[in-house]
Amino acid sequence: MTVDVSSILKELGGKLEVCGEVTLPDTEFLGEYRFSEPLKVEGNISNNGKALRLNARVTGQITTNCARCTKEITVPVDFEMAENLMQGEGEAIVDEDVILFKDTAIELDDIVLDNFLMNLEGKYLCSEDCKGLCPTCGADLNKGECGCSKENIDPRWSQLLDIMKNNEN
Ligand SMILES: [Zn+2]
Ligand SMILES: [Zn+2]
C-alpha cells in the first residue's frame, strides 16, 4: 500500500487520511505468522513542520500455530502505530526514530510489518488451558490421554531414582 504525500509535503498542518489494506508475506519471527487476508490500515499522516507523522490503527487476523499443541489457530490483530517520516535517501539517517521515504510516496507495507512484529504478544495458545503434546509419543493431550502413563518410567530411570532415594536416607 503506497500513500502519495505530495499534497501535504510542503503544507504545515496538512493532513491526509489513510485508509486501505496491506497484504503481507508469511513471516517467521519467534513463530510462524500467515496473513491469510490483508490487514486493514486506518489513520492519517500529518505535517507537523519537522516531519510527517503517521498515526494509524491496524486490524485484521492472522493464522499461526498454538505454541503448545501446534494446532492451527486464527488470532485477531489490533494495534496502533505512530511513526515519523521524512523525505530523504537511504544512508542519511538523521535520527533512528525517523523513517525515510523517496520522492513523495510512502510505502506502508514494511512499516506495518515492523509494527506488527513489535506488537506480537509472545506465544499464542489455542486456549489458556491447552494441555499440549505428550512428550513421549507426541499425541495431542487435548483429545484425551494417550496411554503413556506418567508412572510408566523407563526402567533405567527407575533404577536411577532408587539410587537417588537411597542417597537421601
Ligand atoms: Zn494448543
Ligand atoms: Zn503419549
pLDDT higher than 90, residue 121: no
Together in a domain, 81 and 157: no
Together in a domain, 141 and 93: no
Instruction: Tell me the CA distances in angstroms from 22 to 3, 11, 25, 47, one per residue in order.
Output: 12, 27, 10, 23
CA of 141 to the centre of ligand 2 (A): 8
Together in a domain, 61 and 11: yes
On the CB side of 71, CA atoms within 13 Å amount to 17
CA of 32 to the centre of ligand 2 (A): 26
Together in a domain, 114 and 148: no
Task: Record the cell numbers describing residue 61, joined without a space.
Answer: 487476523
CA of 138 to the centre of ligand 2 (A): 6
CA of 124 to the centre of ligand 2 (A): 23
Q: Is residue 72 part of a domain?
A: yes
* pTM of the entire predicted model: 0.79
Q: Express as a percent the part of the chain with pLDDT over 70.
A: 83
CA of 70 to the centre of ligand 1 (A): 6
Number of other CB atoms surrounding residue 5 within 10 Å = 21
Displacement of CA 33 from its chain's centroid (Å):
7
Determine which helix (DSSP H) or strand (DSSP E) holds 101, and give its type and residue range: strand 98-101
Together in a domain, 151 and 74: no
Q: Are 48 and 56 in contact (CB under 8 A)?
A: no
Domain that holds residue 52: 2-118
Q: Is residue 132 part of a domain?
A: no
CA of 124 to the centre of ligand 1 (A): 9
Q: Order of strands, edge to edge, in the sheet holding 72-87?
A: 15-22, 39-47, 52-65, 72-87, 98-101
Together in a domain, 152 and 100: no
Together in a domain, 25 and 60: yes
CA of 155 to the centre of ligand 2 (A): 17
pLDDT digits (tens, 9 = 90+) for 1-23: 999 999 999 999 999 999 999 99
Q: Are strands 27-28 and 15-22 parallel, antiparallel or unpaired?
A: unpaired
CA of 148 to the centre of ligand 2 (A): 4
pLDDT digits (tens, 9 = 90+) for 42-81: 999 999 998 999 999 999 999 999 999 999 999 999 999 9
CA of 157 to the centre of ligand 2 (A): 17
Q: Is residue 124 part of a domain?
A: no
CA of 166 to the centre of ligand 1 (A): 39
CA of 53 to the centre of ligand 1 (A): 40
Cα 41 to Cα 109: distance, rounded to the nearest angstrom: 10
Together in a domain, 142 and 101: no
pLDDT higher than 60, residue 166: yes
Q: How many domains does the chain have?
A: 2
Q: Is residue 156 part of a domain?
A: yes
Cα 128 to Cα 149: distance, rounded to the nearest angstrom: 23
Backbone angles phi, psi at 88, to 5 degrees: 170, 175
Q: Is residue 161 part of a domain?
A: yes
